[in-house]
Amino acid sequence: MRDFDEHNITRAVIDRFGETPDRRLKRIMTSLVSHLHGFIRDVEPSFSEWEAAIAFLTRTGQMCHDKRQEFILLSDTLGASMLVDAINHRLPAGATETTVLGPFFVQNAPAFENGADISAGLPGELLYVEALVKSADGTTLPGALAQVWQSDDEGFYDVQHPDAGTALRGQFRADGEGKIHFRTIQPAAYPIPYDGPVGDMLRATNRHPWRPAHVHFMISAPGFETLVTHVFAAGDEYLDSDAVFGVKNTLIREFTRHPPGQLPDGTAIATAWRHLTYDFGLKPLASQAA
């Protein structure tokens, strides 16, 4: 087959993938070619536009290193990550909604006992977090593993500071009542990294890079799908325009401000502090979508 033109080339390229041994890969490549060509036919890019697209993708790849994943940021800012998330989480009633993992999760964060302080001495308003881990049917899940991570008071994660140690992240085990609790500081809204090609795209399209303040949770227990989600601070100005489309109403909570007095664990506190509570519901493995 030769002599391809703008009308017959899509069929020809799909046919060329006809001998793909893996059926799933064949299906993916067929769909990719069809949608990629559909995009090209729709916008009819000039050569210089196509070169600009190639250069953008190249810069995006070259911006990536062990602490920066620019293609995830691109996927996030185009709503692709949340769409993949939605497709993979058709949830039963009682299961907590999910959102993007984001680029700041770190494997093997330090393990803490319940009640510990994960702030590593960073400045900020004290935040006391209490969470219950349950099955979607309401059964508590003692021993569930909760990984938490969040920004500091200025909106930065520990991994964004070149020489700083671990801070504001850790692993907790749910106690006999399925509860985890810890001290931290109030997180701040922050911009996704915008000094790369994704930032250029946001600027060129008059979009801002901000995410509303939140705490990340990844919660796992045997027999359940691992839950990846955030809890967002009510009242944040970016709840309606999160740069990565991650906000869901069920994930918003008051980070309630209290006057000086006593923390939930009985400790006296001389400053104002905040309190966040959330009950997480995990989806059983192999359960049907609601």
Site for a second copy in 148-207 (CB under 8 A): 204-207
Burial 66-98 (b: 16+ CB within 10 A, else e): eeebbebbbbbbeeebbeebeeebebeeebbbb
Q: Which is nearer to a second copy, 118 or 247 (CB)?
A: 247
Q: Is 29 in the site for a second copy (CB under 8 A)?
A: yes
In angstroms, what CA-CA distances link 87 with 36, 80, 129, 221?
Answer: 21, 11, 30, 22
Report, in Å, the least distance between residue 57 CB and a second copy: 5
Six-digit token string for 276? 């966040």
Binding residue for a second copy (CB under 8 A) from 106, 142, 241, 285? 241
Distance CA 101, CA 131 (A): 19
Q: Which is nearer to a second copy, 82 or 132 (CB)?
A: 82
Q: Is 247 in the site for a second copy (CB under 8 A)?
A: yes
Binding residue for a second copy (CB under 8 A) from 23, 162, 222, 240? 240
Report, in Å, the least distance between residue 220 CB and a second copy: 14
Q: Is 229 in the site for a second copy (CB under 8 A)?
A: no
Touching a second copy, residues 35-74 (CB under 8 A): 35-47, 49-50, 54, 57-62, 64, 69, 71-72
Report, in Å, the least distance between residue 56 CB and a second copy: 9
Closest CA to 255 of 206, 211, 196, 213: 213
User: DSSP label at 11?
Assistant: H
Report, in Å, the least distance between residue 268 CB and a second copy: 38
Tell me how many degrees the CA angle 243-244-248 measures, rounded to the nearest 5.
105
**Which span (1-9, 141-149, 170-178, 275-283) binds a second copy, by CB under 8 A?**
1-9
Closest CA to 120 of 109, 131, 130: 109
Q: Is 88 in the site for a second copy (CB under 8 A)?
A: yes
Report, in Å, the least distance between residue 251 CB and a second copy: 9
Cβ-based burial of 232 (10 A; exposed 0-12, middle 13-18, buried ≥19) = buried
Q: CA torsion, points 178, 179, 180, 182, in degrees to nearest 10?
A: -170
Q: Are 273 and 128 in contact (CB under 8 A)?
A: yes
Q: Which is nearer to a second copy, 88 or 288 (CB)?
A: 88
Binding residue for a second copy (CB under 8 A) from 21, 162, 165, 266? 21
